[in-house]
Amino acid sequence: MGACDQLPVGEDRGSPPGLEESLEAVGKGDRGAFERLYEALAPRVYGLVLRVLRDRAHTEEVTQEVLVEVWRSASRYEPGKGSVMAWVLTIAHRRAIDRVRSAQAGTDREERAARLEPHRSFDEVSELVVGRLEGERLRRCLENLTELQRESVTFAYYGGYSYREVAELVKAPLGTVKTRMRDGLIRLRDCLGVDR
């Protein structure tokens, strides 16, 4: 069932006069009619949505969404299926329920993810911290290399490329790449304090 189908929500306690004419004018793009319609409908829409959502910020958002939908779908209103107020309140009720379902689905996803995430022991956490610190230290040492040394070492050790492939990637002679990599590795070893 589309948002424009008329299903009364509760009682239609006295729709203000002229709503049907205003809605018809809105369907033809009349902004002044929409302003009048907005003033007549917004408090009722807000009240209904607030009863469902119980959150003012979300209620304001949903109320705006409903009234924008009324603007866009005004020409599809069918008077024989119910009053303008019932039609609009039905749209509002559906939007509010959709927001509740969406929020609940998000909460359910977060809870499932939290249950599936393994709890890490102290050793795993400390290993992770040490690994990150070592990675940061290596990055700082790589920054001390020349650009050709850094590129060559990175391509070879992180990319898995051979000397010849590295030479093609950095557009340098094979002998130069081998020398730069050797020099770069020596500088890295010294920077990291690795024993020979």
- Give the CA angle between residues 169, 170, 174 to the nearest 5°: 90
The structure's pTM equals 0.51
Q: What is the pLDDT of residue 9?
A: 43
Q: What is the pLDDT of residue 35?
A: 93
Residue 149 CA to residue 141 CA, distance in Å, equals 12
Residues of the chain with pLDDT under 70: 1-16, 117-122, 125, 195-196
Q: What is the pLDDT of residue 4?
A: 44
Q: What is the pLDDT of residue 92?
A: 95
CB 123, CB 170: distance < 8 Å = no
Q: What is the pLDDT of residue 75?
A: 92
Nearest alpha-carbon partner for 87 in 43, 36, 23: 23
For residue range 108-125, list pLDDT tens digits in order.
888 887 777 666 556 776
Q: Counting Cβ atoms within 10 Å, is residue 88 exposed (0-12), middle (13-18) or buried (19+)?
A: buried
Token pair in block for residue 157: 């050790």
Residue 66 CA to residue 88 CA, distance in Å, equals 8
